[in-house]
Structure 1
């Protein structure tokens, strides 16, 4: 996984702790934060199902904003 800022890109081991690889004081507007659309929509068929993992699994994989 890669945590990117405008100044530089830095490789981070795994996805769970990608934010730990950022320098302290990194401005929020310099981040691209991974998120999921319709984060809780796991069921309902092809018209409403958007995810195949739980919210906990999404967070464990590095997702940091939920919609």
Structure 2
């Protein structure tokens, strides 16, 4: 893991719950492959915006990593 990977992992995906990208990547690495699984594991989508800001980012991560 290089410095750029570390910086990228610290970026928030869910602003309401302050869930970082690295948290989602860890869960994806353990086999989670759906938006619902990631939301349940992280609390993403349960903040004041109702997932309007993080849902597209989570779906993009799933696309990048081969999830659904």
Q: Give the TM-score, by structure 1 length.
A: 0.32
Q: Which has the higher helix share?
A: 2
TM-score in terms of structure 2 length = 0.32
Structure ID, larger Rg:
1
